[in-house]
């Protein structure tokens, strides 16, 4: 179909879809008039039941932990798929010295600034991960900040150094260990409280770092997995940039 | 005014679809899909909003204060994670399409072969 024909088909159907969407959304309670009850119930009992002050994290890592387990494996599977799709094809090899040319392109100022960020980002990422049950944050957000901590090494133009800070073997290990850690915590619930993913640890005092029982452990497991998974995906994309194809051979 | 957030969500959805339909570049297409998905964040967060409610984080507010629904916020987090994985997968496929066809224009994908 020509681009013009496609657009002619799309415009009337988009108008109809927009009409249906607006009509359907009109039936929802107005903005700010939340009908409940789940949010109100959780806000009422969340802190006293789980001793976690950040109820979003409590929902993700405790009340709806089973759903988050599925979400975590979506991330795990997708990372595996990216690694699989971007594997070296036949006829591809790494361009000799490609990593070194990038190193020369970065200015000294950029390199200094980026390297100054590394430690700060890793500390911030760790902070966000372990305080997930208390203040805004948690394993997913902190994991991405942790991954960014290693990624600025690349922004500084040091591809080789990034591989040394975050070698692929370590990233794969982190990705897998984080995913397995979450499952093991769930099995811990099965053993000590008879229910999979049940919060079986001492809940501690609300507002202190060790409050929330298993929530903080799940947060750390997910933080490790997310950091590993994101860095693994980024490393795979970076590897593509230094690949060259020898002519003729078309892969499979 | 109480309908405005929903209207913006519906608009984002359709505008993202327009971008996907008219896209001439696979990376652009992946970005348009994120626009479509961002409409779902807006719908989720809008349905859970309570007028004058604060964030559902009781670290420094009284335990009895009104707060917005934490369930939809947790769902939005799930949504964001899924979106980032889908974007990564689509970009990886775009890299492979470039290698295979020498083009990132989606209309070249009709030459797709096994």
* Extents of the domains making up chain A: 52-245
CA distances from A68 to A60, B54, B109 (A): 6, 24, 35
For A139, name the nearest residue in chain B, comparing CA atoms only.
B77
Q: What is the mean pLDDT of residues A145-159?
A: 82
The arrangement of secondary structure in B4-53+65-110, i.e. its CATH architecture, is: Orthogonal Bundle (1.10)
Contact A147, A231 (CB under 8 A): yes
Q: How high is the ipTM of this complex?
A: 0.87
Residue of B nearest to A1 (CA): B107
* Residue B50 backbone phi and psi in degrees, to 5: -110, 130
Contact B72 A251 (CB under 8 A): no
- B62 min Cα distance to partner chain A (Å): 11
pLDDT of residue A113: 85
Mean per-residue pLDDT of chain A: 84
Helices A214-241 and A168-193, packing angle to 10 deg: 160
User: What would the mean pLDDT of A59-87 be, rounded to a whole number?
Assistant: 91
| Mean pLDDT on A120-127 | 93
Tell me if B10 and A78 make a contact (CB, 8 A cut-off).
no
Please say if the pLDDT value at position A202 is more than 50: yes
Check: pTM over 0.80? Answer yes or no: yes
Q: b/e map of A1-31 (b: 16 or more CB within 10 Å)? A: eeeeeeeeebeeebeeebeebbeebeeeeeb
pLDDT band at A248 (very low <50, low <70, confident <90, very high): very low
Eight-class DSSP state of A93: E
Which pLDDT band holds residue A156 (cuts at 50, 70, 90)?
A: confident
Which residues numbered 81-110 in B keep a CB inside 8 Å of some CB on A? 81-82, 85-86, 88-89, 91-93, 95-96, 99-100, 107
- Per-residue pLDDT, A101: 52
Do the chains contact at A46 and B68, CB–CB below 8 Å? no
Give the best-scoring range by mean pLDDT among A27-41, A150-164, B84-98.
B84-98
Nearest to A39 by CA among B17, B100, B44: B44
Asked whether B69 and B76 are in contact (CB, 8 A), the reply is: no
Q: Distance (Å, rounded) from C-alpha A223 to C-alpha A60?
A: 13
Domain borders along chain B are 4-53+65-110
Size of interface A-B (CB pairs under 8 A): 164
**pLDDT computed for residue A244 by the predictor:** 62
List chain A residues with CB under 8 Å of B43: 25
pLDDT of residue A250: 41
Confidence check: pLDDT of B61 > 90: no
Is A224 in contact with A143 (CB distance < 8 Å)?
yes
């Amino acid at each position: 179909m020509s681009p013009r024909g496609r657009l002619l088909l799309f415009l009337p159907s988009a108008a109809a879809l927009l009409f249906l969407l607006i009509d359907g959304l009109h039936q929802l309670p107005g903005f700010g008039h939340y009908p409940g009850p789940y949010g109100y119930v959780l806000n009422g009992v969340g802190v006293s039941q789980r001793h976690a002050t950040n109820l979003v994290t409590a929902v993700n890592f405790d009340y709806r932990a089973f759903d988050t387990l599925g979400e975590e494996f979506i991330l795990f599977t997708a990372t595996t798929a990216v690694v699989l799709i971007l594997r070296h094809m036949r006829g591809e090899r790494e361009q000799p010295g490609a990593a070194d040319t990038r190193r020369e392109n970065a200015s000294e100022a950029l390199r200094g600034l980026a390297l100054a960020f590394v430690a700060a980002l890793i500390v911030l990422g760790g902070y966000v991960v372990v305080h997930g049950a208390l203040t805004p944050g948690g394993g997913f957000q902190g994991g991405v900040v942790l991954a960014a901590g290693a990624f600025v090494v690349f922004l500084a133009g040091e591809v080789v150094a990034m591989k040394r800070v975050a070698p692929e073997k370590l990233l794969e290990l982190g990705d897998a260990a984080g995913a397995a850690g979450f499952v093991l915590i769930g099995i811990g619930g099965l053993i000590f409280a008879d229910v999979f993913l049940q919060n079986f640890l001492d809940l501690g005092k609300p507002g202190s770092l060790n409050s929330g029982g298993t929530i903080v452990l799940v947060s750390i497991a997910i933080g490790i997995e997310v950091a590993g998974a994101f860095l693994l995906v980024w490393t795979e994309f970076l590897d593509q940039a230094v690949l060259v194809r020898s002519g003729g051979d078309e892969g499979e | 005014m109480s309908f405005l957030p929903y209207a913006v969500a519906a608009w984002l959805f359709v505008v993202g679809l327009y971008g996907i339909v008219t896209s001439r570049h696979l990376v652009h297409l992946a970005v348009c899909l994120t626009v479509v998905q961002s409409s779902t964040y807006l719908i989720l967060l809008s349905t859970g909003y309570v007028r004058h409610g604060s964030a559902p984080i009781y670290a420094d507010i009284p335990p009895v204060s009104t707060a917005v629904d934490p369930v939809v916020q947790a769902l939005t987090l799930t949504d964001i994670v899924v979106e980032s994985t889908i974007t990564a997968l689509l970009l990886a496929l775009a890299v492979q399409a470039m290698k295979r066809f020498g083009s990132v224009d989606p209309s070249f994908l009709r030459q797709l072969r096994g």
